[in-house]
Chain A
Amino acid sequence: MSQLAASGVGLLLALSVLGIFAARRTPGTRLIYAACAAVCAGLAGVALLRLLAPAGGLESVEIPIGLPLGRTFLGLDPLSAAFALIVNLAAAIVSGYAIGYGVHAREPQRVVPFYPAFIAGMNLVLLAQDAFSFLVGWELMSLASWALVLSEHRSPENRHAALVYLIMASGGALTLLLAFGLLAGPEGGYSFEAIRRVSASGVGPIVLLLALLGAGSKAGLVPLHAWLPLAHPAAPSHVSALMSGVMTKVAVYGFVRLVFDLAGPPAWWWSVPVLVIAAVTALLGVLYALMEHDLKRLLAYHTVENIGIIFIGLGLALAFEASGLRAAAALAFAAAIFHVFNHSLFKSLLFMGSGAVLNATGERDMERLGGLIKAMPATAVAFLVGCIAISALPPFNGFVSEWLTFQAILLSPQLPQWVPRLLVPAVGATLACSAALAAACFVKAFGMTFLGRPRTQAASSAAETDRCSQIAMLSLALLCLLAGILPGFVIDSLGAVTQMAVGARLAPQSGQAWLRIVPIDIHRSAYSGLLVFVMILLAAAATAFAVRRVASHALRRSAAWDCGFPDASPATQYTAGSFAQPIRRVFGSVVFRAREQLTMPRPGDTAVARLQVELRDTVWDALYTPIIRFVAATAERLNRMQFLTIRNYLTLVFAALVALLIIVGTWR
C-alpha cells in the first residue's frame, strides 16, 4: 500500500515535468489537471483503504536517496492515512474543477508545472517516515506554492504577497528543522522510528514551541497569519482552494506529528499556550474576515479562524491526555481531525465558488457584486451550502465537528489542574463567539455576492461557470451534506488515528439508531444529523406548502415599496461595509483601532457627504513593523561591511575566532 502511495507521488512529480510542455496548449492543460485528479483520487482511495484496514504494522518503502547517515522511508500509518485521505480527496475534486477553471489562467505555463509538484510535496510530507523526507516535502510544498502565488507576477501586490510568504515559509521550515534536530538527539537518528525510541527527555517544551512556530506559521496561527490573507488570494482560485483548504491541513499534520507522536508524553501545561493561541486565532480570524470585503481575502481570513478551532481541539486533547483522561482526549482529538476534514471540504468549495464568481465578473470586491444567484444558480447553491457548513449550522458537517469540540470543552471540569479548568470555559466562550461571528460573516459573503441586485455592469452581465467546475463544486457540497448526516462513519474511521495519537478511541458509532452519534454517553448528549435533516426538510416542505396553499392567491400590483429604495439605483442597497458596521463598532476600536470620520455638508450645501473609516492591522503594527524596521536598520549598518579592507576582514575573522575560543574556554 505504501508502495502505491509512493508511486503516486512519483507520478505527480512526473506530471509536473510533463506540465512544462503540456501547458502550451489548452488540451494539454486540461489533460494534466485530469491526470492530477485521477492520481489524487487513487491516492485518496489507497489512504481510505489503509485507514479502514484492521490494525497492521507500518510497512514502509525505503528510498535509496537521502542524508548520508540515514535513509529515506515513506509509509502510511493511520495518522498519515487520515490526512492523506483529506488532502487527496479535496485535491482530486479541486483538480477536477481546474479542468474547467485552469484554462483561464493568463500564463498557464506558470501554473501547470507547479500544480502537480505542489500536490506531490504535500503528499510527500504526509508519507514521510523520517525527518529528512518530511522537510524535503515541506520545502517542495512551500516553494511550489510560492511559485503559484507568483504566477500572476505583474501585479505588485502579488509580488509583495509572495515575498512575505517566502520569508514566513523559510522561517517556518527553519524552526521545524531545529525541532527535528532536537528530537533526533545526539545520535542523529532521523527516522521517526528512531526518534520515538529515543524520546529524549526535556526537549518536549522546546519542540512544542518550535512546532507552534513552524507548523503554526504555515497553518496561520495568530500572530503568524500575516502572509495567509495576502498569499492565498493572490494565487489562481483552484490553487487558493488547495492552499487554504489543504495546505493548512498539512501544517496541522506537521504539528500533530511533532507534538502528539514524536515529542513524547505531554505535560498538562503544554495545552495552555496552544489553547490561548488557538482561541485568539479563532476570534481574531473571524473579526478580520468580517472587516474584509474582498471575497477571497475574506475566505483566507476565515481559514485563520478555522485553524483556531482545530487547534482548540488539539489543545484540549493535549490537556486531557496529559491528565490521563484518554476517552476525553480521543473525543477532542477526533473533533479536531473531523474539523480538519470538514474545513478541507467547505473551504475548497468556497474558494472554488469565489473563483467562479471572479471568472464570471472579474471582481473580487463584494461591494461591486450582487444578484449573482440569478445568473449563476449552480454556483450559488454550492456556495450557499459551503456558507451554511462553515457557519456550523446543522445538518451540514461543520456543525458536527464544532459540536464535538464543545462536547470536549464541557468535559473540562474533569481536569485536575485549575489553570486549564478555568481556561477551557473561557476558550469555549470565545469559540462560541467566533462561531456566531462566522455566521454573520457568511451571511455577509453570500448576501452581498449572490443576493440583491447587481451593483456593477460586470455583475449584471455574469454567466454561469463551466460544467466541470459546477460538478466539482456540487460534489463537494454533497460531501458536506453526507459528512453532516453520516458523522458516525467518519468518527469510526478516525478510531485508528486517535488510538495512535492519544492512545484511546471513541466508542463505535455505527450501531446507533437514526445514524446518531453519541460521543460520551447516551444520557449526556447525542446528535443525529439525519433526524435534523429530515426535520428541516419537513419544516421547509410544510412552509412551502403553507405559502402555496394557505396564503392568498390574489395577484397584487403596487408601486415599488419605498423603504430602503427611494430610487432604483443598486448603489442604495445594503452594502458589505454597512453590514459589518455594528460589529466594527463593538470590536473595531480595540482590535483594529478603527477610526471613523464623518464629513457632513451643511443643509443646502451640495458638497458630497463622506464617511471615512480607517482600520489598522494591529498585529502587523505591533509585531511585524518593528521587526522589519530592525532588519532594515541592521542591514543598513551591515552594508558598510562590504567596503572594508582585506586586513580588516582578516581582523574580523581573527576576532571572531578568538571570541569563540574565549567562549569555549570559559564555558565550564
Chain B
Amino acid sequence: MSPLDSDIAHLLAGSMVLLSFLLLYQDRMFALLNVFALHAYALACSVAWQAYLQRAPHLFITALIALLFKGVIIPLALRRIVVRLGIHRSIETVVSVGPTMLFGIALVGLSIVVMLPVTQAEGPFVREDLAFALSVLLLGFLMMVTRRNAVSQVIGFMSLENGLVLAASGARGMPLVVEISVGFSVLIAFIVIGIFLFRIRERFDTVDLQALDMSRGEAL
C-alpha cells in the first residue's frame, strides 16, 4: 500500500482518538451526543477505508452498521431520552477537566508503549492502528469512570465499543458474524440501559448515580 493510504488510515483513527478527548470534557448533554455521533462517523470512515485497503467487502457492511446504528439511531434515541428525562439543560459536573485530560494523554502514551513492542511481527500499519484503537478503548473507559450521569456513562461505553470495532477492523479478518453479533449486543445493551434509565428516574427522580448508591440494598 502506498504511504498515502496508510496516512489516511492513521488520520481517521487518530481523529477518533481526538474525538475521544473531546468526549471527555463535554459537560452539556447535546454537545456530548453530537460529538459521539462524530465519533461514530469517524469510525465508519475508518472502517470503510480499511475495507477499501484490504479489499474486504464485508467491512463495508460493518462501516454501514456503525454509521446507521451508532451515527444516527443511537444518538437520536439518546437525544429523545435526554429530552424526556428533562436533563437537556443541565450541566454535568465533570470531574476536574485538567487532570482528566492529562491522565487521558498518559493513557494514549501507555497504549502506544504497550502495543508497539507486542505486535512487532505485524506491519507498521496494523501496529499503529491497534495503538489508536487501544487508546480509544481506554479513553472510553476513563469516561465511564469519571462521569456520574448515566447517559454519559452509556456514551462512554459506546465509545469504548467503537475502539473495539476499530481494533478488529484493523487486525484483518474479523468475521462478519462476530461484528454483527457485537453490534446487536451493543444495541441490546443500549435498550436495556435505556429502559433502566427510565425505571431509575421513576424511582429516584434523577439519573445521577450517587442517588442510587445511597439507597442500594432495598431498591434495584
Is B174 interfacial (CB-CB < 8 Å)? no
Q: Are B145 and A654 in contact (CB under 8 A)?
A: yes
Stretch at the interface among B40-48, B55-63, B73-81, B136-144: B136-144
Is A662 close to B, CB under 8 A?
A: yes
In the complex the two chains form, what is the Cα distance from A665 to B115 in whole Å? 8
Give the contacting residue for A665; candidates B113, B148, B212; CB below 8 A.
Answer: B113
Q: Of all chain A residues, which has the CB nearest B156?
A: A650
**A647 smallest CB distance to B (angstroms):** 6
Q: Are A661 and B111 in contact (CB under 8 A)?
A: yes
B53: interface (CB < 8 Å) = no
Interface size class of A (residues with CB under 8 A): 10 to 19
Chain B residues near A26 (CB, 8 Å)?
A: none
Tell me the complex Cα distance, A651–B100, Å. 13
Within 118-170 of B, Cβ neighbours of A (below 8 Å) are at 118, 138, 141-142, 144-145, 148
In the complex, the answer to whether A658 meets B209 with C-beta atoms within 8 Å is no
Residues 185-220 of B, flagged 1 when their CB comes within 8 A of A and 0 if not, give: 000000000000000000000000110110010000
In angstroms, Cα B210 to Cα A651, docked, is 15
Known: A657-B141, A668-B117. A647 touches B110 (CB 8 A): no
Collect the chain A residues with CB atoms within 8 Å of residue B216's CB.
645
Does chain A have a CB within 8 A of B176? no
A646 at the interface (CB under 8 A from B): yes
Please give, as numbers and ranges, the residues of chain B lying within 8 Å of A657 by CB-CB distance.
Answer: 138, 141
Query: Could you tell me if B141 and A646 are in contact, using CB atoms closer than 8 angstroms?
Result: no
B213 pairs with A658, CB closer than 8 A: no
Q: Which residues of B contact A665 (CB under 8 A)?
A: 110, 113-114, 117
Q: Which residue of B lies closest to A661 (CB)?
A: B114
Contact assessment for B209 and A661 in the assembled complex, using a CB-CB cutoff below 8 Å: no
Interface flags for A647-666 (1: CB within 8 Å of B; 0: not) read: 10011011001100110111
Q: Which of A650, A661, A668 lies in contact with B110, CB distance below 8 A?
A: A661
- The reply on B107 being an interface residue by CB < 8 A is yes
Complex contacts, A661 vs chain B, CB 8 Å: 110-111, 114, 138
Other-chain residue from B118, B138, B142 in contact with A664 (beta carbon distance below 8 A):
B118
Q: Mark B102-117, 1 if CB is under 8 A from A, else 0.
A: 0000010011011001
Residues of B with C-beta under 8 A to A645:
209-210, 212-213, 216
Query: With A and B bound together, what is the CA distance between A647 and B114 in angstroms?
Result: 26
- How many residues belonging to B are interface residues under a CB distance threshold of 8 Å? 18
B110: chain A residues within 8 A (beta carbon): 658, 661-662, 665
B145 and A647 contacting across the interface, CB-CB below 8 Å: yes
Contact of A654 among B111, B113, B141, B148 (CB under 8 A): B141
Q: State the CA gap A646–B149 with chains docked (Å).
A: 12
Q: Which residues of A contact B107 (CB under 8 A)?
A: 658
Contacting residues, chain B, for A646 (C-beta < 8 A): 209, 212-213
Please report the C-alpha to C-alpha distance between residue A387 and residue B84 in the assembled complex, in whole angstroms. 86
Task: State the Cβ distance, B104 to closest chain A Cβ, in Å.
Answer: 12
Question: Among the interface residues A651, A653, A662, A665, which one has the most CB atoms of the partner chain B within 10 A?
Answer: A665
Please measure, in the bound complex, the distance between the C-alpha atom of A665 and the C-alpha atom of B141, giving whole angstroms. 19
Establish whether residues B142 and A654, one from each chain, have CB atoms under 8 Å apart when the complex forms. Answer: yes
- Total A-B residue pairs with C-beta atoms closer than 8 Å? 38
A640 to nearest B CB, angstroms? 14
Q: Tell me whether B138 and A658 are in contact (CB under 8 A).
A: yes
Query: Main SS of chain A's interface residues?
Result: helix
What are the residues of chain B within 8 A of A668 when measuring CB–CB?
117
Contacts of A651 in B (CB 8 A): 145
Nearest chain B CB to A658 CB, angstrom units? 7
Q: In the assembled complex, how far is the CB of residue A324 from the closest CB belonging to chain B, in whole angstroms?
A: 44
Smallest CB–CB gap between B4 and chain A, Å? Answer: 31
What's the Cα separation between A666 and B117 when bound, in Å? 10
Q: Which residues of B contact A653 (CB under 8 A)?
A: 141
For residue A650, which residues in chain B have a CB less than 8 angstroms away from its CB? 141, 144-145
Residue of B nearest to A652 (CB): B145
The docked-state distance in angstroms from the alpha carbon of A653 to that of B160 is 14
The answer to whether A664 and B114 touch across the interface, beta carbons within 8 angstroms, is yes
Chain B residue with the shortest CB-CB distance to A668: B117
Q: For chain A residues 507-531, which have a beta carbon within 8 Å of chain B? A: none
> In the complex, which residues of chain B have a beta carbon less than 8 angstroms from the beta carbon of A666?
113
B212 CB contacts on chain A under 8 angstroms: 645-646
A647 near B148 with CB under 8 A, answer yes
Give Cα A650–Cα B154 distance, bound, in whole angstroms.
13
Smallest Cβ distance from B195 to chain A, in angstroms? 17
Chain B, Cβ-Cβ closest to A666: B113
Bound CA span A647–B213, Å = 9
Q: Which residues of A contact B210 (CB under 8 A)?
A: 645
Query: Measured between alpha carbons, how far is A653 from B148 in the docked complex, in Å?
Result: 17
Q: How far is the CA of A654 from the CA of B153 in the complex (A)?
A: 14
- How far, in whole Å, are A41 and B131 apart by their CA atoms in the complex? 65
- Across-interface contacts of A662 in B (CB, < 8 A): 110
Cβ distance A394 to chain B, nearest Cβ, rounded Å = 68
Give the distance in Å from the alpha carbon of A205 to the alpha carbon of B6 in the complex: 50
Closest to A649 in B: B145
A residues 623-663 in Cβ contact with B at 8 Å:
645-647, 650-651, 653-654, 657-658, 661-662
Contacts of A664 in B (CB 8 A): 114, 118
Residues facing A in B62-111 (CB within 8 A) are 107, 110-111
Which single residue of chain B is at the shortest CB-CB distance from A643? B216
In the complex, how many angstroms separate the beta carbon of B76 from the nearest chain A beta carbon? 26
Task: Using CB atoms, name the residue of chain B closest to A662.
Answer: B110
Whole-angstrom distance from the CB of B151 to the nearest CB of chain A?
14
Which residue of chain A has its CB nearest to the CB of B212? A646
Q: Smallest distance from the beta carbon of B12 to chain A beta carbons, Å?
A: 24
Chain A residue nearest in CB terms to B144: A650
Residues in A neighbouring B213, C-beta threshold 8 A: 645-646
Which residue of the partner chain A has the closest CB to B214?
A645
Q: How far is the CA of A647 from the CA of B118 in the complex (A)?
A: 31
- Set of chain B residues within 8 Å of A658, measured between Cβ atoms: 107, 110, 138
Contacts of B138 in A (CB 8 A): 657-658, 661
Residues from chain B with a CB closer than 8 A to the CB of A654 are: 141-142, 144-145
In the bound complex, residues from chain A placing their C-beta under 8 Å from that of B209 are 645-647
Q: Give complex CA distance A645, B141 in Å.
A: 16
Which B residues are CB-close (under 8 A) to A647? 145, 148, 209
Name the distance in Å between B108's Cβ and chain A's nearest Cβ: 12
A residues 549-576 touching B (CB-CB < 8 Å)? none
Whole-angstrom distance from the CB of B113 to the nearest CB of chain A? 4
- CA A645 – CA B213 in complex, angstroms? 6
- Nearest-neighbour CB distance to chain A for B129, whole angstroms, equals 17
* Residues of chain A contacted by B148 (CB below 8 angstroms): 647
- Closest chain-A Cβ to B49's Cβ sits at a distance in Å of 27
What is the CA–CA distance of A668 and B210 in the complex, to the nearest angstrom? 42
| Min CB–CB distance A357 → chain B (angstroms) | 56
In the bound complex, how far is the Cα of B143 from the Cα of A534, in angstroms? 89
* A610 to B: closest C-beta gap in Å: 55
Closest to B109 in A: A665
Q: B141: which A residues are within 8 A, CB to CB? A: 650, 653-654, 657
Residues of A within 8 A of B114 (CB): 661, 664-665
| Residues from chain A with Cβ under 8 Å of B118 in the complex | 664
B111, B114, B117 — most chain A CB neighbours (10 Å): B114
| B140: min CB distance to chain A, Å | 10
Report the minimal beta-carbon distance from A661 to chain B, rounded to whole angstroms: 5
* Whole-angstrom distance between the Cβ of A149 and the nearest chain B Cβ: 39
Nearest residue (CB) in B for A646 is B209
A1 to chain B, nearest CB (A): 48
Q: Chain A nearest CB: distance from B128 CB in Å?
A: 16
How far is it, in angstroms, between the C-alpha of A664 and the C-alpha of B145 when the chains are bound?
22
Chain A interface (Cβ within 8 Å of chain B)?
645-647, 650-651, 653-654, 657-658, 661-662, 664-666, 668
- In the assembled complex, 8 residue pairs joining A and B whose CB atoms fall closer than 8 Å, in A order, are A645-B216, A646-B209, A646-B213, A651-B145, A657-B138, A658-B138, A662-B110, A665-B114
Excluding A645-B209, A646-B212, A661-B111, 9 further A-B contacts by CB distance (< 8 Å) are: A645-B212, A645-B216, A646-B209, A650-B141, A654-B142, A658-B110, A664-B118, A665-B110, A665-B113
Q: Which 4 A-B pairs have the closest CB atoms?
A: A645-B213, A665-B114, A665-B113, A651-B145
